[in-house]
A and B are shown apart, each in its own frame.
Chain A
Amino acid sequence: MALAENELSFQEKVDQDIRIEPKDWMPDAYRKTLIRQISQHAHSEIVGMLPEANWITRAPSLKRKATLIAKVQDEAGHGLYLYSAAETMGISREEMVDQLLSGKAKYSSIFNYPTITWADMGAIGWLVDGAAIMNQVPLCRASYGPYARAMVRICKEESFHQRQGFEILLVLSKGSEAQRRMCQDAIDRWWWPSVMMFGPNDEASPHTAQSMRWKIKRFTNDELRQRFIDVCAEQVKLLGMRLPDDLLKWNEERQHYDFGPIDWEELRQVISGNGPCNKERLAARVQAHADGAWVREAAMAHAGKRAQRAAPDQYKVA
């Protein structure tokens, strides 16, 4: 089939919501864009373990500690589901890990902020995971089958992450004056970075139209951001706390909350490597990978030996 014909029948399938599977023909740009999108998402899950791992040893109770370990383990799992989906498009795990460790690949800029109090565990669950869910639920219907299926698994597990986070804040909000202050402080610090998680404004997002045509994006950045703000503006009332935006106000006409200007310069700085923790996060990943090298090697050597021992005599190397 000619290229134009292939492209046409590909787009027809996408338009009819017929999923694209690994061995199906797909445009090069679709493959490239998805590899980037899926691997960036995977990297975000992996790097996303670090800010929370910081609090595992200092969780205030055994219950909180067990919960946090389970959540971080889920994030490792989510990273692996996504790497697995990306691998079906022909990129190797090794290549993706190299891209992350060399700093060539991006991950969500939210994980370059520090987690300085216990309340940050609550704010991350409520706001960061809340924003992630807003982004991810529509991706369960993404046009690429392995990606959509990975997202279904992830979304099922993500709900626990958000709920445990809100519960942490709820408990703090009913606590002592110091606990309430800590709760508000965490919300103040995590609110705007969470709002920025949806990416640049639609006018500044040149690839949105193509991604929506390919159905690897179902709503625009601004649509999802508005939805997130509308939900959080109500939820924060249950905590008796406030979102740090003086211009946040219900707009009866739009049936949405209006909100204040976003500091895009901050996002630009964090994305280009100048966030508070960019260097620390990457260094932690590089270190973990290097520290694990002997384990990976030993496992291969052990597997080789066992295979040789189990092989029938005639295949044995003397």
Chain B
Amino acid sequence: MTEQQWPLWEVFIRSKQGLDHKHAGSIHAADAAMAIENARDVYTRRMEGVSIWVVESKYIHASNPDEASSLYDPANDKIYRHPTFYDLPDELKHM
């Protein structure tokens, strides 16, 4: 019988209070509690984190880079969403 493998988990780490969690890498573990402990040992040996998220990799769904042009198309031609689109006199202050 082949050995059952520990599933793969993606690890996200908040490096300090006030910042977002950021993807750090992945880890194998039997369950979520072990994934957090393994992530601590692998990704935060030098106080790189104050909070860890783990999620089983199979639950991550990603956009397809080949479809990037159509996916982001709706935002592509809306330059009026940027403040620099508006032509205002130089004398106008505090805006």
Interface set of A (CB-CB < 8 Å, partner B): 21, 23-25, 70, 73-74, 77, 80-81, 84-85, 87-88, 92-94, 146, 149-150, 157, 293, 296-297, 299-300, 302-303, 306-307
Contact = CB atoms under 8 A, between A and B. Distances in A.
B68 to A, nearest CB: 10
B70 to A, nearest CB: 14
Given A24-B65, A150-B25, A93 B31 contact: no
B16 to A, nearest CB: 17
A87 B30 contact: no
Nearest to A79: B42
A93 B45 contact: no
B55 interface: no
B62 A23 contact: yes
Given A77-B42, A88-B26, A303-B31, 16 more contacts: A23-B62, A24-B65, A25-B66, A77-B41, A77-B43, A81-B25, A84-B25, A84-B27, A87-B26, A92-B5, A149-B25, A157-B46, A296-B30, A300-B30, A302-B30, A303-B34
Interface in B61-81: 62, 64-66
Nearest to B66: A25
Contacts of A81: 25, 42
Contact of B3 (A77, A84, A296): A296
Contacts of A80: 25, 27, 42
A296 B66 contact: no
A105 to B, nearest CB: 18
Contacts of A296: 3, 6, 30
Given A23-B64, A293-B3, A299-B6, A93 B28 contact: yes
A303 B64 contact: no
A297 B65 contact: no
A79 B76 CA distance: 41
A300 B42 contact: no
15 contacts: A23-B65, A25-B66, A73-B41, A77-B41, A77-B42, A77-B43, A77-B45, A80-B25, A81-B25, A84-B27, A87-B8, A297-B3, A297-B4, A299-B6, A303-B30
